[in-house]
């Protein structure tokens, strides 16, 4: 009996250590200020403006690719208010349209709204990175679940952005997205 209790105690300790490591050293531990001194500087009005082409993959909870997609995007800004229209095409043959309504506040904070969000998202851009957090409601065909999303966009150069997002339910990662977004020359 003591051996079983020791084993279970060891397993609980390992689970706690893994959770702590992920919380303080992993993707979720990043902060906008980690990128504050990096160049080039991420300016939404510049880098999410005009036509963009996006390609990416979505990983499931076991780390395998569940879906591939391409998207055409178009961003328009009027001062600190912008709209980013997205048209996705998935490898399953389905399509999806989303329109982000973005506002940059006087303090530099970003507010994001879209029809499939629960409430609104909030974020910041520092240096070469942008972080956005929000809750998204999946379509009924995908279960209708509400997932907490942490979105990071990393500016590679003036024409290329790498996007990494994690989707969580009850704090457990259920999906991850990795994509590139590139400006399309007129």
**Strand 146-157 with 160-169, pairing:** antiparallel
Sequence-ordered list of residues with C-beta below 8 angstroms from that of 131, at least 6 positions apart, any chain? 30, 31, 32, 123, 124, 125, 150, 151, 152
Query: Going residue by residue through the chain (186 aa), what tens digit of pLDDT does each one get?
Result: 678 777 766 766 666 655 555 555 566 767 776 677 778 888 999 999 999 999 999 999 999 999 999 999 999 999 999 999 999 999 999 999 999 999 999 888 999 999 999 999 999 998 989 999 999 998 888 888 999 999 999 999 989 999 999 999 999 999 999 999 999 986
pTM of the model: 0.82
Angstrom distance (rounded) from CA 21 to CA 150: 18
């Amino acid at each position: 009996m003591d051996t079983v209790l020791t084993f279970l105690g060891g397993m609980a300790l390992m689970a706690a250590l893994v959770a702590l490591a992920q919380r303080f050293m992993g993707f979720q531990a990043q902060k906008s200020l980690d990128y504050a001194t990096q160049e080039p500087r991420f300016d939404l009005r510049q880098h999410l403006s005009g036509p963009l082409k996006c390609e990416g993959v979505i990983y499931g909870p076991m780390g395998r690719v569940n879906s591939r997609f391409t998207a055409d995007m178009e961003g328009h800004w009027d001062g600190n208010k912008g709209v980013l229209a997205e048209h996705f095409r998935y490898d399953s043959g389905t399509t999806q349209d989303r329109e982000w309504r973005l506002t940059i506040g006087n303090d530099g904070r970003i507010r994001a709204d879209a029809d499939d969000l629960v409430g609104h998202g909030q974020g910041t851009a520092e240096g070469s990175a942008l972080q956005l957090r929000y809750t998204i409601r999946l379509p009924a065909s995908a279960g209708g679940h509400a997932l907490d999303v942490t979105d990071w966009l990393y500016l590679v150069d003036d024409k290329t952005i790498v996007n990494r997002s994690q989707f969580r339910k009850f704090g457990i990662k259920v999906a991850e997205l990795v994509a590139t977004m590139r400006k399309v020359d007129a």
